[in-house]
Amino acid sequence: GNSVTQMEGPVTLSEEAFLTINCTYTATGYPSLFWYVQYPGEGLQLLLKATKADDKGSNKGFEATYRKETTSFHLEKGSVQVSDSAVYFCALSDKAGANNLFFGTGTRLTVIP
């Protein structure tokens, strides 16, 4: 079956610190991988994605590399800002049709000045 395991939070960092949020997956096929971000009181927004092995997704200073050998898609950012405080969800999709997403449990990040 399909599943996503995310690093448990909450994570609290000082501004300009390095961020890593771990994500590993189990899938029956060849999934696409996503990171979504949810700011307080809002819906989810796509942060970045990768569709095949060794692809690197990047956006707003965040990066994640699709590692098939370790079934991982860890999220990194070199220097976090207070505005990055949010909940981050790793997700996978392996259906060619309706694109169902399987989410991890989410990791809450708080960045303090």
Partner 1 sequence: DAMVIQNPRYQVTQFGKPVTLSCSQTLNHNVMYWYQQKSSQAPKLLFHYYDKDFNNEADTPDNFQSRRPNTSFCFLDIRSPGLGDAAMYLCATSREGQAREQYFGPGTRLTVT
What is the smallest separation between the CB atom of 76 and partner 1, expressed in angstroms?
20
Q: What amino acid occupies position 13?
A: L
Q: Between the CA of residue 80 and those of 47, 52, 66, 71, what are the distances in Å?
A: 15, 27, 22, 25
Interaction of residue 57 with partner 1, rule CB under 8 A: no
Q: Is 32 in the site for partner 1 (CB under 8 A)?
A: yes
Q: Give the tokens for residue 79.
A: 């220097």
Determine which residue in the list 51, 79, 81, 83 makes contact with partner 1, applying CB under 8 A: 51
Sign of CA dihedral 113, 34, 67, 11: positive
**105 lies in the site for partner 1, by CB under 8 A:** yes
The span of 15-23, 60-68, 78-86, 90-98 binding partner 1 (CB under 8 A) equals: 90-98
